[in-house]
Amino acid sequence: MIVTRAGFLTSVQDLGRTGFRQFGVSLSGALDSFALRVANLLVDNNEGAAGLEITFGGLQLHFQDKRIVAWCGGEFDVRVGPTELPAGHVCRVSAGDQLKFGRPKLGSRCWLAIFGGIDVALVLGSRSTDLRGNFGGFEDRVLRDGDVVPLSARPGSSTAATAISSWTAPHDWVSPARRDPILRFVRGFDWFRFSDVTVQRFTDHEFTVSTDSDRMGVRLTGPELRRIDNADLVSEAVAPGTVQVPPNGQPILLLGDCQTIGGYPKIAHVITVDLGIAAQVRAGDHVRFSEVSLADAHALLLERERALERFRIGLSLRGS
Amino acid sequence: MQITALGDSALIVRLRDQFEDAPEETLNEVLRAFQQLRSAAIPCVIEVAPAYTSVAVFFDPIAVAKASATPGEGFDWLTKRVRDAVGRAADRGRAVKTSSRIVEIPVCYDSEFALDIDRVAEHAKVSTPEVVDLHSAAQYRVSCIGFTPGFPFLSGMPKRLATPRRDVPRKEILAGSVGIGGPQTGIYPLRSPGGWNLIGRTPLKLFDPTKDPPALLRAGDRVRFRAIKRAEFDSLKR
């Protein structure tokens, strides 16, 4: 597969790199791992196959062989030749076909799964590109114009692909981008370090996404979140979803490329089922936070997983 | 010991509140809990990682929900397993061996690499060669790995070398740079931005993703710096 145009920021990602946090290695991976899993299921891949994370579009791919593709994410205009390919739909591409991603009308990222998966070497157990550490993925870096990206030569099960081509995934799954989204959170350990008035501000006011946001974190501006105490905090683990508050009082929502430890107070954690929504925000967007209990966070996740299981069974029945 | 949620897919086991009061004991306690949690091999746990005073446990919430008998009580089920594992560690505390590797790290303190050594010397009110002597004579311990892959935060630096971070961080620091940030010293394993005062550079690779383990150092290791000349730096670098 030839990258005719690499677009703004495109990288190879799978479900992330686990097991090396003790050595300071970030999770990396698709910022919306659920979207990648769904896209992979649609093209009959293993859920954890490596795909492309495309930020702000502009990507143009030239296929050298017959493949099946599907994508999930923001509201992008995606075309195979002149034909539109909506999110969550499966499409066959032939040798010589061009797949083009326009700029998103809403949201900022999408994930493309290609039958067979992207065939780059596993580095520390993952095919994800670590953009901070500059390793993994395709040649340890983001894609560039002219790259020839290897796809797995797995023998084609084109019968399954023909059968599932009429299947689409639920809208919420394939198009998670929202205008002025509400992100649900559970309280962080340092919640008590903020006054009642401050935590009220955190949940009552909207925050604006700042331009210096990236895969490490979404920087937010809004009412100042000032701590009551000034105890020196000892650095400890942070994770994608953690909302930390630096001394300037402007929160940062950490995403997949975040470092493994941090010393800023953790006011909240966006719940896993909403990380896909968080992965879509872009500069100027307004976000709000809404509290849920830990039990609810787990129940929501379990509910979504059960639905995905049904979807998976449905796909395999159609394919058989 | 306190166990609290770190979002819905991880939890933190806090062994102590402070690190600086008793770095050795705290680190030993953390490493004990870390090892105990690893050998407990609790189902649904994806990975365990130590920090200064705590150990983080990352888990698969779906697997936890399915593993616990009562719906909705998965987190409590896991917390209990974690508490049991670490509780046992406290009982048999001394029986658990913590890492005692000693790693020697050659460092060239030449001015070419020691961009901020004069600032450190001025702050410590000593000469530049004395900074090198003080820094390379001490014995250090890796209290934590973080910031970037393989970055060791080292405790044990002579107090007088403590120097505040630079007001404006550098946009790019080359791999192997040895720095001082407040009371700590550390080594930048990868080219990255950073605000620490640079006093030298090691030719060793501190992080190599093609190796397992990928990092030269791990929490608990003891570290010594050996001052080397530029020629040795070049030959080791090869």
Using DSSP, state whether A260 is helix, strand or coil. Answer: coil
Is B127 contained in some domain?
yes
- Residue B34 near residue B51, CB atoms below 8 Å: no
Query: Which of A133, A241, A259 lies closest to B146 in CB terms?
Result: A259
Domain with residue B187: its CATH number is 2.40.100.10
Q: Which residues of A touch B190 (CB under 8 A)?
A: 133-134
Do B27 and B121 share a domain, yes or no?
Answer: no
Q: What are phi and psi of A289, to 5 degrees?
A: -115, 140
In this structure, are B139 and B189 located in the same domain? yes
Question: What does B149-209 look like in DSSP terms, one character per residue?
Answer: TT-EEEE---GGG-BPPPSS-EEEE-TTEEEEEBTEEEE--SSEEE-SEEEEE-SS-SB-T
Do residues B191 and B226 both lie within one domain? yes
Question: Domains along chain A?
Answer: 2-177 (no CATH), 182-299 (2.40.100.10)
Residue A23 to residue B8, Cβ atoms within 8 A: no
Q: Rounded mean pLDDT of B14-37?
A: 94
pLDDT at B154: 97
Burial class (CB in 10 A: 0-12, 13-18, 19+), A26: buried
Q: For B9, name the nearest residue in chain A, comparing CA atoms only.
A: A272
- B96 within domain boundaries: no
Taking only the tens place, the pLDDT of each residue in A126-175 is 999 999 999 999 999 999 999 999 999 865 555 455 555 566 778 888 89
Say whether pTM exceeds 0.90: yes
User: pLDDT tens digits, residue range A190-239?
Assistant: 999 999 999 999 999 999 999 999 999 999 999 999 999 988 899 999 99
Instruction: Examine residue B93 and state whether it is found in any structural domain, yes or no.
Output: no
Please name the member of B9, B149, B191 whose beta carbon is closest to the beta carbon of A23. Answer: B149
Are B162 and B209 members of one domain? yes
**What is the spatial distance between Cα B177 and Cα B206, in angstroms, rounded to a whole number?**
10
Whether B87 shows a pLDDT value over 90: the answer reads no
Q: For chain B, what percentages of helix, strand and coil (3-state, to nearest 5) are there?
A: 30, 30, 40
Q: Do A19 and B72 touch (CB under 8 A)?
A: no
Complex ipTM > 0.85: yes
**Residue A73 in contact with partner chain B when CB distance is under 8 A:** no
Show the tokens assigned to B200.
């030298």
A300 closest CA partner among A108, A172, A200: A172
Structural domain containing residue B24? 2-87
B135 and B45 within one domain:
no
pLDDT at B85: 95
- pLDDT for the residue numbered B210: 96
Closest A-chain CA to B146: A24
Provide the token pair at B91: 């009982």
B62 contacts in A (CB within 8 Å)? 301-302, 305
Q: Flag whether B75 is in a domain.
A: yes
- How far apart are the C-alpha atoms of B208 and B202, rounded to whole Å? 15
Residue B166's pLDDT band (boundaries 50, 70, 90)? very high
Show contacts of A243-248: CB within 8 Å, 24+ apart: A243/A185, A243/A188, A243/A267, A243/A268, A243/A269, A243/A270, A243/A289, A245/A190, A245/A194, A248/A224
Nearest to A22 among B151, B191, B218 (CB): B218
Nearest CA distance, B166 vs chain A (angstrom): 17
**Any idea what the CATH number is for the domain that residue B11 is in?**
3.30.1360.40
Best residue in B8, B151, B172, B191 to probe A by mutation, most A CBs within 10 Å? B8
pLDDT at A166: 60
Per-residue DSSP letters for A191-250?
Answer: GGGB-HHHHHHHHHS-EEEPTT--SSEEEEESS---BS--PPPPPEE--TTEEE--TTS-
Instruction: Pick from B2, B3, B4, B6 the residue to mutate for testing the A interface (most A CBs within 10 Å).
Output: B6
Residue where one domain finishes, among candidates B26, B52, B87: B87
CB contacts of A242 in chain B (<8 Å) are 6-7
Q: Is A261 on the interface with B (CB under 8 A)?
A: yes
Number of separate domains in chain B:
2
Query: How close A237 comes to chain B (CA, Å)?
Result: 6
Gap from B150 CA to chain A (nearest CA, Å) = 5
CB contact under 8 A, A24 and B215: yes
Do B80 and B110 fall within a single domain?
Answer: no
In terms of domains, do B110 and B205 share one? yes
B55 and B106 inside one domain: no
Domain assignment present for B97:
no
pLDDT in tens, B50-70: 999 999 999 999 999 888 877
Residue B37 falls inside a structural domain: yes
Say if the Cβ atoms of A24 and B147 lie within 8 Å: yes
Are B47 and A18 within 8 A, CB to CB? Answer: yes
- How far from chain centre, in Å, is Cα B156? 13
Instruction: Write down the pLDDT at residue A320.
Output: 53
- The residues in A 124-183 lying below 8 A from B, measured between CB atoms, are 124, 130, 132-136
Q: Is A293 on the interface with B (CB under 8 A)?
A: no
Same domain, B231 and B115: yes
Mean pLDDT for the stretch of residues B140-162: 96
Q: Dump the DSSP string for B105-150.
A: EEEE--TTT-TTHHHHHHHHTS-HHHHHHHHHHSEEEEEEE-SSTT
Q: Does A299 touch chain B (CB under 8 A)?
A: yes
- Per-residue pLDDT for B90 more than 60? no
- Are residues B8 and B78 both part of a single domain? yes
A122 in contact with B at a CB cutoff of 8 Å?
Answer: no
User: In chain A, what percentage of residues exceed pLDDT 70?
Assistant: 94
Contacts of residue B17 in chain A, CB cutoff 8 Å?
Answer: 234
Residue B27: predicted pLDDT:
95
- Provide the residue count of chain B: 238
* Minimum distance, in Å, between the CA of residue B37 and any CA atom of chain A: 13
Listed in sequence order, the residues at least 6 apart from A294 whose beta carbon sits closer than 8 Å to its beta carbon are A186, B5, B8, B75
CA angle, A115 then A278 then A170, to 5° = 50
Q: Is residue B95 part of a domain?
A: no
Same domain, B78 and B110: no
Q: How far is B127 from chain A (nearest CA, A)?
A: 31
Per CB-CB distance under 8 Å, the chain A contacts of B34 are 22
pLDDT surpasses 80 at B89: no
Mean residue pLDDT across chain B: 93
Give strand pairing partners of A135. Answer: A130
Q: CB-hemisphere CA count at 13 Å for A207?
A: 29
Cα pseudo-dihedral A71, A77, A83, A89, rounded to 10: 30
Q: Which residues in chain B are closer than 8 Å to A243, comparing Cβ atoms?
A: none
Q: How close is the nearest chain A Cα to the Cα of B183, in Å?
A: 14
Structure tokens at B6: 């770190």
Rounded average pLDDT over B188-217: 96
Same domain flag for B42 and B151: no
Q: Which one of B46, B148, B214 has the shortest CB-CB distance to A18? A: B46
Query: Which of A17, A18, A21, A23 to mutate: most B Cβ within 10 Å?
Result: A23
Shortest CA gap B74–chain A (Å): 9
Q: What is the pLDDT of residue B100?
A: 75
Q: Kindly report the nearest CA distance between residue B132 and chain A, in angstroms.
A: 28
Q: Which residues pair with A110 in a beta bridge?
A: A54, A73
Please answer whether residues A212 and A250 qualify as being in contact, where contact means their C-beta atoms are separated by less than 8 angstroms: no
